[in-house]
């Protein structure tokens, strides 16, 4: 089942889709590294990302 994630940063409308939660997290981290270098990618952020993932 495809997963769907919308960037949690205000004003950023990036959307990530992948087949697994892990793939979403990986792509979200890569997206954040490129677009939100101020964002700290710690365990807390990973939990936030995972909590925002929806199944479509
Ligand atoms: Zn973003």
* Per-residue model confidence as pLDDT tens digits over 27-56: 999 999 999 999 999 999 999 999 999 998
Residue 1's pLDDT is 85
Count of domains for the chain: 1
What's the pLDDT tens digit per position in 7-23? Answer: 999 999 999 999 999 99
Grouping H, G, I as helix, E, B as strand and the rest as coil, residue 18 is strand
Interval between CA 2 and ligand 1 midpoint (Å): 20
Torsions phi, psi of 5, nearest 5?
-140, 130
| Cα 43 from Cα 12, distance rounded (Å) | 21
User: 40 is in which domain, residue-wise?
Assistant: 3-55
Reading the block at residue 25, the tokens are: 């997290």
- Beta 54-55 vs 3-6: how paired, if at all? antiparallel
Interval between CA 31 and ligand 1 midpoint (Å): 6
Interval between CA 1 and ligand 1 midpoint (Å): 23
Interval between CA 53 and ligand 1 midpoint (Å): 14
């Amino acid at each position: 089942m495809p997963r769907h994630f919308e960037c949690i940063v205000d004003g950023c409308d990036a959307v990530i889709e992948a087949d697994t939660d892990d793939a979403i997290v990986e792509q979200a981290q890569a997206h954040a590294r490129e677009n939100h270098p101020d964002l700290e990618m710690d365990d807390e952020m990973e939990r936030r990302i995972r909590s925002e993932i929806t199944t479509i």
